[in-house]
Structure 1
Amino acid sequence: MIAIGFEGSANKLGIGIIRDNEILSNVRHTYITPPGEGFLPRETAKHHRDHVLSVLQGALTDAKLTLKDVDVICYTKGPGMGAPLTTVALVARTIAKMYDKPIVGVNHCIGHIEMGRLITGSDNPIVLYVSGGNTQVIAYSERRYCIFGETIDIAIGNCLDRFARLLKLSNDPSPGYNIEQLAKRGKKFAKLPYVVKGMDVSFSGILTYVQERLPNWLKSGEFSVEDLCFSLQETLFAMLIEITERAMAYLGSKEVLIVGGVGCNERLQDMMRIMCEERNAVLHATDERFCIDNGVMIAVAGLLQYKISGATPWEDTACEQRFRTDDVLVTWRE
């Protein structure tokens, strides 16, 4: 079967096409704002409206298909930013009506997980899901992706983005990528708050701590921009690895899968790999093609869902900004 996936929950607009487990196309266009600025829902939705048809045409061209060849339309139902979500969902709904195709609403987080499982071949891993809007440690149990731990305030990607804004770093290709490159040149470690509460983490206080001291640090020369990028990464990633390892110990798991946009950070992967080796476990991770939001992951999860449960009823094809990972009944796994 051929499935097309539409993703637009944040500033990445992605459309991907698969034939069963074969990826036919994966086209993406990112809304990039000036340094020091974030992306707002209204402007992000306008970006998606302006580019969705050209991205769609690019995906169809790469796959050498037309919309008549597609068997099922999949779109991101949530979670995400309301205006961008509904903008892309409207296009998916319109195409489904025009071509009389079944439509499937997909949980964005589960799209990341199923994409990661497909690409890496992992079986039943502990999942660390890290992105701009989500930070969760997840494990599958009794037809649910259960959340064992998560952020209690902002997500790690949001923390990195806001830190980049404080430093006026470029948003091209992404704030997190530019922090990662600067961190490689950092030499001096600034001791920052380390906030792990049981299986949960908190990032907002760390950001406030840095914001209050940043002018003095830079003015005095105590720490360079590179030092601060290095220190922030090391602290945040250590927190994530601690709660991931705790979940592994609790469940006796020997696999870890990192998904989400922050998951393509090489330093995070290196730190997690060290922990896994110490536990005789295996790390599964992917690169920016599949970690960063994309349409293929929506097609993958949507097709799995469609084959077992059928299409989403038309009256349920609205979007949900707060669509929890553990709200979904995972019918396609034993």
Structure 2
Amino acid sequence: MPTVLGLEGSANKVGAGVVRDGAVLSNRRATYVTPPGHGFAPGPTGRHHRERLLDLVGAALRDAGVGPAELDGVAFTKGPGMGAPLAVVATVARTLAQLWALPLLAVNHCVGHIEMGRLLGAAPDPAVLYVSGGNTQVISYSRRRYRILGETLDVAVGNCIDRLARLLQIPNDPSPGYNVEQLAKRGRRLVPLPYVVKGLDVSFSGLLSHLQAVTPKLLESGEATPEDLCFSLQETVFAMLSEVTERALALTRARHLLLVGGVACEGHPKVGGVGPGFGGLDPDLGV
């Protein structure tokens, strides 16, 4: 039974965990949180990861009850992601692998999300909706390859939601997406927003530009509240994603749908932001 230490740090979250033969023995992480109205830049995020990662590794090994001698490899996120945070994780992983004379395993961030979902969710051959801060894709596995059936033509859905959080000065702790979800639950008015679906592709940039233009006027006039805007954004973008996902299911005839990525965890504070938010799905489905 192989036992592997895995390190992840592609964006503002950094983590270390131990997996043995498909069972997660430990999972430690820390989040770089910025003030309201601010995003996270590569440099400061990388420095945060550098300060926290070794402590997380130690905690993950203690939680799992294993030592370096019991490990069979060290895995790390190779990409995609932010350059500086990825470089920190790669350096630590490479150093530990050399110190402990272990194989070094580079993992594709996107494929890691999907494979983890297949492992923990018992979905052998699913269609996949991958929604996160940097990715929005509808994916299916065919002929020994993951194939992108549809995707965003511009910004990712998570980035779109985060930009609204910045616009409304919504706190980033525990995550902007989580806080947008909580406000959306109290929204009462659906504000009309651009809805752009092109086959199996979606586009969010026009919707985002429209929001940036009308939000100050709507708030000042009292026509909409921050809660209404969060509710309207979520209803619109999730409806777009539901439409392209239904088309992908009809195309692939898949019996399972796997929902992965950070936006799949919207509404769940421990994972930062699927839960009650994304179409009322169970939080255990988001990986």
TM interval, short-chain normalised? over 0.9
The structural deviation recorded for 1:254 is 2.2
Is 2:193 the counterpart of 1:192? yes
Q: Distance in 2 between matches of 1:119 and 1:251?
A: 22
The corresponding residue for 2:284 is: 286
Q: TM-score, normalised by structure 2?
A: 0.94
Is 2:251 the counterpart of 1:250? yes
User: 1:131 touches 1:155 (CA, 8 Å); kept in 2?
Assistant: yes
Q: Distance in 2 between matches of 1:244 and 1:51?
A: 37
The structural deviation recorded for 1:205 is 1.2
The corresponding residue for 2:224 is: 223
One-letter amino acid of the counterpart of residue 127, structure 1: V
Once the two structures are overlaid, the 10-residue window that deviates more, 174-183 or 63-72, is 63-72
The structural deviation recorded for 1:255 is 1.3
Q: 2:147 aligns to what SS in structure 1?
A: strand
- After superposition, give the CA deviation of every residue in 1:115-168 in whole Å (9 maximum; x if it has no partner): 111111111111000001100000000111110001111111111111100000
User: 1:258 touches 1:285 (CA, 8 Å); kept in 2?
Assistant: no
Q: Distance in 2 between matches of 1:52 and 1:139?
A: 33
Q: TM-score, normalised by structure 1?
A: 0.81
One-letter amino acid of the counterpart of residue 146, structure 1: R
Q: Distance in 2 between matches of 1:84 and 1:264?
A: 21
Counterpart mapping for 1:167-206 below 5 A: 167-206=168-207
Aligned with 1:270 (options 270, 279, 283): 279
Sequence identity, in percent?
57
The corresponding residue for 1:5 is: 6
Q: Distance in 1 between matches of 2:252 and 2:277?
A: 22
Structure 1 unaligned residues grouped into runs of 5+: 274-283, 292-334
- After superposition, give the CA deviation of every residue in 1:200-256 in whole Å (9 maximum; x if it has no partner): 111111111001011110010001110110000000000001110001111112211
Cα-Cα RMSD: 1.3
State the aligned residue count: 278
Runs of 4+ in 1 over 6 A off after TM superposition: none
Q: Distance in 1 between matches of 2:5 and 2:240?
A: 36
The corresponding residue for 2:271 is: none
Distance change (3 Å), C-alpha of 1:209 and 1:267:
farther
The corresponding residue for 1:83 is: 84
Counterpart mapping for 1:297-316 below 5 A: none
The corresponding residue for 1:301 is: none
User: 2:276 touches 2:283 (CA, 8 Å); kept in 1?
Assistant: no
User: 2:140 touches 2:146 (CA, 8 Å); kept in 1?
Assistant: yes
One-letter amino acid of the counterpart of residue 279, structure 2: D
User: 1:133 touches 1:155 (CA, 8 Å); kept in 2?
Assistant: yes
Q: 1:18 aligns to what SS in structure 2?
A: strand
User: 2:138 touches 2:149 (CA, 8 Å); kept in 1?
Assistant: yes
The structural deviation recorded for 1:68 is 2.0
The corresponding residue for 1:260 is: 261
Q: Distance in 1 between matches of 2:14 and 2:252?
A: 36
The corresponding residue for 2:120 is: 119
Q: Distance in 2 between matches of 1:228 and 1:183?
A: 8
User: 2:181 touches 2:277 (CA, 8 Å); kept in 1?
Assistant: no
Structure 2 unaligned residues grouped into runs of 5+: 267-274
Is 2:209 the counterpart of 1:208? yes
User: 1:116 touches 1:285 (CA, 8 Å); kept in 2?
Assistant: no
One-letter amino acid of the counterpart of residue 184, structure 2: A
The corresponding residue for 2:66 is: 65
Q: Distance in 2 between matches of 1:153 and 1:208?
A: 12
The structural deviation recorded for 1:285 is 6.2
User: 2:10 touches 2:86 (CA, 8 Å); kept in 1?
Assistant: yes
One-letter amino acid of the counterpart of residue 130, structure 1: V
Q: Which structure's residues are more often helix, by fraction?
A: 1
Q: Distance in 2 between matches of 1:33 and 1:269?
A: 25
Q: 1:286 aligns to what SS in structure 2?
A: helix
The structural deviation recorded for 1:270 is 2.8
User: 1:259 touches 1:285 (CA, 8 Å); kept in 2?
Assistant: no
Q: 2:279 aligns to what SS in structure 1?
A: helix
Q: 1:122 aligns to what SS in structure 2?
A: coil
The structural deviation recorded for 1:267 is 4.6
Q: 1:85 aligns to what SS in structure 2?
A: helix
One-letter amino acid of the counterpart of residue 136, structure 1: Q
